[in-house]
Amino acid sequence: MPIFGTDGVRGLANGPLTADLALSLAQATAVVLGQGRTAEARRAAGKRLSAVVARDPRVSGEFLSAAVEAGLASSGVDVYDAGVLPTPAAAFLIADIDADFGVMVSASHNPAPDNGIKIFATGGVKLPDVVEQRIERAMDGPKLLPTGAAVGRIRRFADAEDRYVVHLLGSLPHRLDGLHVVLDCAHGAASGVSPETFKDAGARVTVIGADPDGVNINDGVGSTHLDVLAKAVVEYGADVGIAHDGDADRCLAVDANGTIVDGDQIMAILAVSMKSRGRLADDTLVATVMSNLGLHRAMSDHGIRVETTGVGDRYVLERMNEGGFSLGGEQSGHVIMSEFATTGDGVLTGLHLVAEMARTGKTLAELASIMTVYPQVLVNVRGVDRTRAGSDEVVQDAVARASAELGLSGRVLLRPSGTEEMVRVMVEAGSEDDARRHADVLADVVRERLAL
């Protein structure tokens, strides 16, 4: 059974995700990634393989990162232990010190009992499926077990956070002076670095959700619980609120009135800003099929083309790399600015969003008004044959009728789950009632026609 999911290996710590599994996975990673051309060239030049390892603050990350580091060092890889840092910081550091690869121990927005292992290749890029499959196979094969001086060393990466902060500050087109920002760090990996960076950039900062104790990560705070941030922004009279998830690879926002600004709206703001400054490659934004119809309309109004991918930031990144595009992301707040990052970076995104407020002198509500958010209803229809969703004539006729009735004022999407016997029915329309009505009708048709 495959152990890699859509974003690394994830599961209940000490359930399916054990120290033994982490160690074996690290050893297999050393075997597979140590066979690449870059790694071979390093060895030919007498250099040792190296890797960056970081984690979020959940308690299980302590033993899992220790197991990962033991697996790498036992395979002859020198390890730079960066401690608690965001996932995008780990990706940046791999490239910054020219390490051969890196590992992030985190379960992102999941609750504290879960954990995960994400592997990045040279340059801090995510692994393609084929490489993950090779690592899985290598877990049952021979390991690299050097002896004596050839074993790897484990060193504390003392200036890891400083390097990342300097990088973030260097990316900014404008300082944040005069703006009051509330940061919700989800008791996660951004708890130290995000407040520090926003303050260094000139903002007045109020911090919530930045007291990690190993078990409170994402617990009622962060990007999955925006009501807490919205209340704080209004209470403190702040200009804007920024919310991270546990590993800080995503960013959502709240305006001064407590209104949520989602990933689509953030991308719209950044895309228009980047185009005006000549930084939006080919005047193109990459988004997933789940992005709101309002994003497409807003981008069209501003002469920006939208390239659409499947759901998942890895697919967004693949298309960005293929086309040489500079901005992409998801409604959930994974925003990739490829000029400065190889993956979604919530701290970077938040900084650039607030910088646009400072640059233009506009409120976040004014900036977000460039996009009208269409009501979106999502129904998960379970217990159905997902493989027939695209071929059943009755289902497709129902989709066609709903699409025709909505016309240019709405959109219909049927998306089979990749892991469950489930079909997701998503409808956008000019009103919540219309979206709900069409979604419920389509869900009934799917349920009746595709029932197992």
CA distance 396 to 393: 5
> Which pLDDT score is estimated for 193?
97
Ligand-binding annotation for 60, yes or no, is no
- Regarding whether 215 and 123 lie in a shared domain, the answer is no
Instruction: Please report whether residue 2 resides in a domain.
Output: no
> Which pLDDT score is estimated for 150?
93
More confident: 414 or 204:
204
- Regarding whether 318 and 445 lie in a shared domain, the answer is no
CA distance 382 to 377: 16
- Regarding whether 283 and 153 lie in a shared domain, the answer is no
> Which pLDDT score is estimated for 84?
98
- Regarding whether 297 and 172 lie in a shared domain, the answer is yes
Ligand-binding annotation for 20, yes or no, is no
- Regarding whether 179 and 322 lie in a shared domain, the answer is yes
- Select from 140, 158, 176 the last residue of a domain: 158
Catalytic residue among 108, 194, 223, 273: 108
Ligand-binding annotation for 56, yes or no, is no
Q: What is the pLDDT of residues 262-284, one digit of tens each?
A: 999 999 999 999 999 999 999 99
Q: What is the mean pLDDT of the chain?
A: 94
- Regarding whether 153 and 167 lie in a shared domain, the answer is no
By residue range, what is the domain housing residue 324?
163-368
- Regarding whether 202 and 350 lie in a shared domain, the answer is yes
The overall longest dimension of the chain from CA atoms, in Å, is: 73
Most confident of 43-47, 183-187, 314-318: 183-187
Ligand-binding annotation for 273, yes or no, is no
Active site residue 108: yes
- Read off the pTM: 0.92
Q: How confident is the model at residue 37 (pLDDT cuts 50, 70, 90)?
A: low
Tokens, residue 194: 């995000």
| Distance (Å) of CA 331 to CA 124, 179, 193, 286 | 23, 25, 24, 11
CATH number, domain containing residue 29: 3.40.120.10
Q: How confident is the model at residue 141 (pLDDT cuts 50, 70, 90)?
A: very high
> Which pLDDT score is estimated for 39?
64
- Regarding whether 217 and 359 lie in a shared domain, the answer is yes
Residue 5 predicted with pLDDT over 90: no
> How close are the terminal C-alpha atoms of the chain, in Å?
23
> Which pLDDT score is estimated for 64?
98
Q: How confident is the model at residue 1 (pLDDT cuts 50, 70, 90)?
A: low
Give every CB contact of residue 403 below 8 A, 6+ residues apart in sequence.
Answer: 410, 411, 412
- Regarding whether 386 and 348 lie in a shared domain, the answer is no
